[in-house]
Amino acid sequence: MKVVVLVGGVGGAKLAYGLAQVLPPNDLTVIVNTADDLWLYGLRVCPDLDTIMYTLSGLVDKTNGWGISGDTRNTLNVLSRYGEDTWFGLGDQDMATHILRTRMLQAGYTLTEVTERLTKSLGISQRVLPMTDVPVATIVDTKEHGELEFQEYFVRHRWQPTVTGLRFAGIEQAVMNEAVESALTQAEIMLIGPSNPWLSIDPILAVPGMREAIQARSVPRVAVSPIVGGTAIKGPAAKLMAELGYEVSAEAVALYYGNLINGFVYDQMDAGLNIPISQTANFETIMKTDEDKVLLAQNVLDWIQKWV
Amino acid sequence: MKVVVLVGGVGGAKLAYGLAQVLPPNDLTVIVNTADDLWLYGLRVCPDLDTIMYTLSGLVDKTNGWGISGDTRNTLNVLSRYGEDTWFGLGDQDMATHILRTRMLQAGYTLTEVTERLTKSLGISQRVLPMTDVPVATIVDTKEHGELEFQEYFVRHRWQPTVTGLRFAGIEQAVMNEAVESALTQAEIMLIGPSNPWLSIDPILAVPGMREAIQARSVPRVAVSPIVGGTAIKGPAAKLMAELGYEVSAEAVALYYGNLINGFVYDQMDAGLNIPISQTANFETIMKTDEDKVLLAQNVLDWIQKWV
Domain region containing A242: 3-35+125-137+171-307
Backbone angles phi, psi at A253, to 5 degrees: -65, -45
Quick one: pLDDT at residue A233?
84
- Residues of chain A positioned with their CB less than 8 A from the CB of B81: 96, 121-122
Quick one: pLDDT at residue A234?
82
A238 within a domain of the structure (yes/no) = yes
- Residues of chain A positioned with their CB less than 8 A from the CB of B121: 81-83
> Are A222 and A192 contacting, i.e. CB atoms less than 8 angstroms apart?
yes
- Predicted ipTM of the assembly: 0.91
**Residue of chain A minimizing CA distance to B99:** A41
A110 within a domain of the structure (yes/no) = no
pLDDT over 90 at B80, yes or no: yes
Q: Do B92 and A75 touch (CB under 8 A)?
A: yes
pLDDT over 90 at B233, yes or no: no
A284 within a domain of the structure (yes/no) = yes
Q: Do A74 and B77 touch (CB under 8 A)?
A: no
pLDDT over 80 at B308, yes or no: no
Q: Do B71 and A74 touch (CB under 8 A)?
A: yes
Helix (H, G, I), strand (E, B) or coil at A282: strand
> What is the spatial distance between Cα B114 and Cα B123, in angstroms, rounded to a whole number?
14
> What is the spatial distance between Cα A294 and Cα A62, in angstroms, rounded to a whole number?
15
A104 within a domain of the structure (yes/no) = no
Helix/strand/coil (H/E/C) assignment for every residue in A68-119: ECCCCCHHHHHHHHCCCCCCCCCCHHHHHHHHHHHHHHHCCCCHHHHHHHHH
B interface with A, Cβ–Cβ below 8 Å = 41-43, 68, 71-72, 74-79, 81-84, 91-97, 99-100, 102-103, 106, 117-118, 121-122
- Residues of chain B positioned with their CB less than 8 A from the CB of A96: 74-79, 81-82
pTM: 0.93
> Are B30 and B119 contacting, i.e. CB atoms less than 8 angstroms apart?
no
Closest alpha carbon to B54 in B24, B87, B16: B16
- Residues of chain A positioned with their CB less than 8 A from the CB of B40: none
Residue ranges in chain A modelled with pLDDT below 70: none
Structural domain count, chain B = 1
Closest-CA distance, B134 to chain A, in angstroms, reads 21
Quick one: pLDDT at residue B254?
97
Question: pLDDT tens-digit profile of B24-71?
Answer: 999 999 999 999 999 999 999 999 999 999 999 999 999 999 999 999
A–B interface: beta-carbon pairs under 8 A? 102
Q: Do A82 and B96 touch (CB under 8 A)?
A: yes
Closest-CA distance, A187 to chain B, in angstroms, reads 29
B302 within a domain of the structure (yes/no) = yes
Closest-CA distance, B127 to chain A, in angstroms, reads 17
> Are B115 and B107 contacting, i.e. CB atoms less than 8 angstroms apart?
no
**Residue of chain A minimizing CA distance to B70:** A74
Q: Do A121 and B93 touch (CB under 8 A)?
A: no
For CA atoms A91, B82, A293, A266, give the dihedral sign: positive
B77, B99, B121 member nearest A75 (Cβ)? B99
**Residue of chain A minimizing CA distance to B121:** A82
Quick one: pLDDT at residue A199?
96
B279 within a domain of the structure (yes/no) = yes
Residues A288, A293, A299, A304, Cα dihedral to 10°: 130
> Are B41 and B211 contacting, i.e. CB atoms less than 8 angstroms apart?
no
Helix (H, G, I), strand (E, B) or coil at A241: helix
Helix/strand/coil (H/E/C) assignment for every residue in chain B: CCEEEEECCHHHHHHHHHHHHHCCHHHEEEEECCCCCEEECCEEECHHHHHHHHHHHCCECCCCCCCECCCCCHHHHHHHHCCCCCCCCCCHHHHHHHHHHHHHHHCCCCHHHHHHHHHHHCCCCCEEEECCCCCCEEEEEECCCEEEEHHHHHHHCCCCCCEEEEEEECHHHCCCCHHHHHHHHHCCEEEECCCCHHHHHHHHHHCCCHHHHHHCCCCCEEEECCEECCEECCCCHHHHHHHCCCCCCHHHHHHHHHHHCCEEEEEHHHCCCCCCCCEEEEECCCCCCHHHHHHHHHHHHHHHHHHC
Question: pLDDT tens-digit profile of B266-290?
Answer: 999 999 898 999 999 999 999 999 9
A interface with B, Cβ–Cβ below 8 Å = 41-43, 68, 71-72, 74-79, 81-84, 91-97, 99-100, 102-103, 106, 117-118, 121-122
B187 within a domain of the structure (yes/no) = yes
Q: How many CB atoms lie within 10 A of CB B41?
A: 22
- Residues of chain A positioned with their CB less than 8 A from the CB of B115: none
Backbone angles phi, psi at B262, to 5 degrees: -125, 5
Q: Do A103 and B42 touch (CB under 8 A)?
A: yes
| Separation of first and last alpha carbons in chain B | 12
Distance of CA B22 to the CA centre of its chain: 20
**Residue of chain B minimizing CA distance to A82:** B121
In the beta sheet, which residues pair with residue A146? Answer: A142
A266 within a domain of the structure (yes/no) = yes
A83, A96, A103 member nearest B75 (Cβ)? A96
> What is the spatial distance between Cα B82 and Cα B88, in angstroms, rounded to a whole number?
15
Longest dimension (CA), chain B: 59
Q: What percent of chain B has pLDDT over 70?
A: 100
Quick one: pLDDT at residue A197?
97
In the beta sheet, which residues pair with residue A44? Answer: A39
Closest alpha carbon to A166 in A112, A228, A227, A241: A241
Q: Which helix (H) or strand (E) holds A265?
A: strand A263-267
> What is the spatial distance between Cα B96 and Cα B109, in angstroms, rounded to a whole number?
17
| Separation of first and last alpha carbons in chain A | 12
A72, A81, A121 member nearest B92 (Cβ)? A72
Q: Do A83 and B121 touch (CB under 8 A)?
A: yes
Q: Which helix (H) or strand (E) holds A161?
A: none
Q: Do A84 and B72 touch (CB under 8 A)?
A: no
Closest-CA distance, B106 to chain A, in angstroms, reads 8
**Residue of chain A minimizing CA distance to B93:** A75
> What is the spatial distance between Cα A224 and Cα A285, in angstroms, rounded to a whole number?
8
Q: Do B79 and A100 touch (CB under 8 A)?
A: yes
Closest-CA distance, A44 to chain B, in angstroms, reads 12
Find the CATH number of the domain harbouring B232. 3.40.50.10680
